A = this chain, B = another copy of it.
Amino acid sequence: MIHVYTGNGKGKTTAAIGMAIRAAGAGYKVFFAQFVKGRPYSELNVLKNIPSLVVKQYGLECFIVKAPTERDIQAARNGLQEVSAVIESATYNLIVLDEACIALYYKLFTLDEFLGVIDLLKPETELVITGRYAPRAIIDKADLVTEMKEIKHYYTKGTEARKGIEY
């Protein structure tokens, strides 16, 4: 099954982390990939200590501000290639592609390239895709889509991202 967690509200990456924890807790093998992101997020301290869970980051330390650099593109493209092999191998029960929709939004790879990778998915593997701006073609392909809709956010009142809460 393919899950998509999209929308402008908080909870997409955390939901993917929750899925990874639940699957690992059930004894499943989990591959947790992050596109665009390359920072040492707090959650990785826990995820990396779970033996049946592999974490890979395909982003740089610094965020993409206006336009992606050649290095951003290269990191994402390398990631997609690695993920492609991981999906095809069917070695993992759950594969998370965190912020894959953001990688698509920044055109780090094309939608066609991404759909080609998703098409390699074996029926027994669960795939979780996150990120704002999920394209229609991915929503159509998904079996489950949740829109995380921002009703209210403390960002708008000036609270900045906090360690342990946002990263």
Q: Which residues of B contact A23 (CB under 8 A)?
A: 42, 164-165
Give A28 to B163 CA distance when docked, in angstroms.
10
Which of B5, B42, B159 meets A22, CB within 8 Å? Answer: B42
Q: Which residues of B contact A112 (CB under 8 A)?
A: none
CB pair A21–B43 under 8 Å, yes or no, is: yes
- A-side interface residues, number (CB < 8 Å): 54
CB pair B15–A164 under 8 Å, yes or no, is: no
Name 17 A/B residue pairs within 8 A (Cβ), A-sorted. Answer: A7-B149, A10-B144, A11-B15, A11-B146, A17-B22, A19-B165, A21-B43, A21-B46, A22-B43, A23-B165, A26-B45, A94-B164, A145-B150, A145-B151, A145-B153, A147-B149, A147-B151
Q: In the assembly, how many copies of this chain are there?
A: 2
CB pair A164–B25 under 8 Å, yes or no, is: yes
Tell me how far the C-beta of A127 lies from the nearest C-beta in chain B, rounded to whole angstroms: 11
CB pair A41–B15 under 8 Å, yes or no, is: no
Segment 144-162 of A: residues with Cβ below 8 Å from B: 144-154, 157, 159
A84 within 8 A of B: no
Segment 3-33 of A: residues with Cβ below 8 Å from B: 3, 5, 7, 9-19, 21-28
Consensus secondary structure, chain A interface: mixed
Give A56 to B145 CA distance when docked, in angstroms.
30
CB pair A144–B139 under 8 Å, yes or no, is: no
Closest to A151 in B: B145
Give A154 to B126 CA distance when docked, in angstroms.
12
Top-7 shortest CB links A-B: A14-B18, A26-B164, A17-B18, A9-B146, A26-B42, A25-B42, A25-B45
